[in-house]
Structure 1
Amino acid sequence: MADIDVRKLAEQLDAAQAILDEIRVTSGCDAFGPAREPASKRVEAALESAQRALHERKTRTNFVGNPEMFGEPAWDMLLDLFIRQTKDEKISGKNAFIDAEAPTATAKRWLKVLEQNGLIISQPDPASSDGDRTHLTPTGYEGMLRYLESIAH
């Protein structure tokens, strides 16, 4: 399932959930908890959290120096991929190295670990001179969405 399909599916499921919530409320069965936010609101809150988290991580090196001292290249890559994927931007594996602000060997190692854990996938992109395109898997995207949404509130 492509990354864009995950968002469409989430929106469809949220639309169905909204209908169920309306039925529940009008039937007097609202004891099942509050209605969920629409997918667009969830994604917007998660995107803001991701952008804030990445900005804070990069800003702290301005105050304490040496980025390697607090480096979390895997987390930086996940945040960056989530932001770009949510904005429908494409990212090459090469750009993931740069954005992680880690040495290339370290970034490659972490990309491999993230891929082995089913959080990202790199696929050849014949339409690009950059080679591979890297993106979050549906599992990786949903995990990031849920985490970032949870810290947004």
Structure 2
Amino acid sequence: MGKRPMPDIATLHTAPAELSKLPSPGLIRRVIRQRQERSALFEADLFADPAWDMLLDLAAAHAEGQRVSVTSLCIASGVPTTTALRWIAQLTAKGLVEKVQDAIDRRRAFVRLTDRSIAAIARYFRNVEPAPAL
């Protein structure tokens, strides 16, 4: 079986709504827990992937209809706050997340996935989902 070509992330935002449907929050949270378990059993820096951990956390929150503060996302990344803030800046610059100021408390900001990243994450989960048993 050949490899699937990598889609251009810039084209994912035009995907139909059914293609942008994220899996259940439970599945996403299970993947997050599996990643945390792996880090508990091996040296955490062997598998450091803070950007993916952030995207997974944001995907689960999106699927649950929850908001994620910058502080919470830094904790979810599993890296020091300064490193997490650099990753958030990179993800923002690449158009994968956006920051939204809290309308009530202007000192606080929330981070959310863009339509492009929702489409990409939805496609990722569809592509790695095991085929149903016959």
| Greater helix share, structure number | 1
Tell me the residue number matched to 2:58: 81
Match of residue 32, structure 2, among 34, 38, 54:
54
1:49–1:152 CA contact under 8 A, matched in 2:
no
4+ aligned runs moved over 6 Å, structure 1? none
Letter in 1 for 2:116: T
Task: Measure, in 2, the Cα distance between the counterparts of 1:128 and 1:86.
Answer: 24
2:84 pairs, out of 102, 107, 115, with 107
Larger radius of gyration: 1
Aligned to 1:23: none
Aligned to 1:31: none
Q: 2:114 aligns with which of 137, 140, 153?
A: 137
- % same residue: 26
1:44 alignment counterpart? 23
Cα distance in structure 1, aligned partners of 2:48 and 2:101: 28
From the superposition, tell whether residues 127 and 152 of structure 1 become closer, same or farther in structure 2 (CA, over 3 Å): farther
In the aligned structure 2, how far is the partner of 1:57 from the partner of 1:93? 21
SS of the residue 2:23 aligns to: helix
Cα RMSD after superposing both structures: 2.4
What TM-score results when the alignment is normalised by the length of structure 2? 0.75
Deviations 1:56-98 (A, max 9, x none): 110012211x322321100000000000011101101111001
Structure 1 distance, partners of 2:128, 2:28, is 10
Displacement of 1:129: 7.0
**Which of residues 73, 81, 86 is equivalent to 1:96?**
73
Q: Which runs of 5+ in 2 are unaligned?
A: 1-12
The partner residue of 1:150 within 116, 127, 131 is 127
Count of matched residue positions in the alignment of Structure 1 and Structure 2: 116
Residue in 1 aligned with 2:95? 118
TM-score norm. by structure 1 comes to 0.67
Structure 2: which amino acid aligns with 1:54?
I
